[in-house]
Structure 1
Amino acid sequence: MAAARLALGRVLPGSSVLFLCDMQEKFRGTVSFFPQIVAVSARMLQVARMLDIPTVLTEQYPQGLGPTVPELGAQGLRAVPKTSFSMMVPEVERLLKARPGLRSVLLCGIEAQACILCTALDLLERGLEVHVVADACSSRSQVDRLLALSRMRQSGVFLTTSESLILQLLRDAAHPHFKEVQKFLRDPAPDTGLLGLFQGKNPLFS
């Protein structure tokens, strides 16, 4: 029964946590589609706040790579500094252990082939479902991004989009926060270059 539930990949606000990975100033000019990735992640953060979904924010070597960019809207969240290529540092481990009902991690940020991939694999090893928000993850190289998404999918990660994930969390237009959340869904999420990765007969995703 548990295996069937895991394969289904259903997400519920009460058993989910949002991870925001390393969206920092020094990446602004190097990561492909950086402004769009941040905008989509900001939408995920706003919805998480409305639905009382806890959020974990990390910064990779902030002394050298700078702080989280202000347009993410993460003011008020304490960023966990790290040098590890996984978000699963001791402080984050402690935060997750304090949520015994946790089942799903919703993962946004950069870079796909580095911290996103390493974090996803660590979470899978701990028996958690990982939902990578593909339109909220990028890399400097689109080849690295493509291969990282494929690698994660091979390992059991659920690849999804921000809008799909938000609607799964709401489940019903009768949800008390639907009208508030609907404001973020009236316009499609900004283009983050995914179509170019998936176009044609791509053997990595067949």
Structure 2
Amino acid sequence: MLVVIDMQARLLPHLDGGERLTERVATLLRAANLLDVPAVVTEQNPVGLGGTVNALLPVMRTANVIGKHTFDATLEPAFVAALPPAPATLWIVGAEAHVCVLLTVLGLLQLGYRVECVADAVASRRAADRAVALERARQEGAKLTTVETAIFGWLGSCRHPRFREALALVK
């Protein structure tokens, strides 16, 4: 399952690399749609921070959107209810790396999930915060990966019937 954390319109302009982050997350959502990988999207305090950025809405067609007020999404019962049973693998992307992403990663690890933190699809306001968050996630047991690695992992083989379509997403 792809877990998209807090890609909200009022937050993204303040992030280091927010525009690139949006592009990377959109690529993963397109691939998830193409390859039938389920997705869940969180929105932190949507009344205060607004909804998910408009650029992602067209590619969120099958995603379950969950509002939350906790920084660790696993403290939100609706989020946990949307997840597959542990020990499934969850690919985590979004913002901010050192707050909601990291705290959710830690919560998911405590619940027994295998977590892949997509390093080129997370961001923070400051690059140093992102770097520390990725290192902490790795130290705690999350695997670090990239958008392309996740997509090729979902494909499994160049013989996958949707290989050429997926390949076009990363070219």
Q: Is the structural similarity TM-score above 0.5?
A: yes
Larger CA Rg, structure 1 vs 2: 1
TM score, norm. by length of structure 1: 0.78
What is the distance in 2 between the residues matched to 1:29 and 1:41? 15
2:68 aligned partner, one-letter code: K
Which of 33, 46, 52 is equivalent to 2:30? Answer: 46
Which of 51, 56, 79 is equivalent to 1:92? Answer: 79
Query: Which residue in 2 is equivalent to 1:82?
Result: 68
Indicate how the Cα distance of structure 1 residues 180 and 30 shifts in structure 2: closer, same or farther if over 3 A, else same.
same
Cα RMSD for the two superposed structures? 1.4
Which of 53, 60, 64 is equivalent to 1:69? Answer: 53
Deviations along 1:53-112, one digit per CA (max 9) or x if unpaired, are 11101101111111111112345344211110012210011122xx34761000000001
Which 5+ residue runs of structure 2 have no aligned equivalent? none
Query: Which residue in 2 is equivalent to 1:180?
Result: 165
Displacement of 1:141 in angstroms is 1.0
Moved over 4 A (4+): none
What is the distance in 1 between the residues matched to 2:97 and 2:128? 10
The 5-angstrom pairing of residues 6-25 of structure 1 reads: 17-25=1-9
Determine if the alignment matches structure 1 residue 129 to structure 2 residue 89.
Answer: no
Q: What is the identity percentage for the equivalent residue pairs of Structure 1 and Structure 2? A: 36
TM score, norm. by length of structure 2: 0.93
Deviations along 1:108-143, one digit per CA (max 9) or x if unpaired, are 000011001110011101111100111100000111
**How many residues matched?**
168
For structure 1, which segment, 71-80 or 50-59, has the greater mean C-alpha deviation from structure 2 after superposition?
A: 71-80
Which 5+ residue runs of structure 1 have no aligned equivalent? 1-16, 187-206
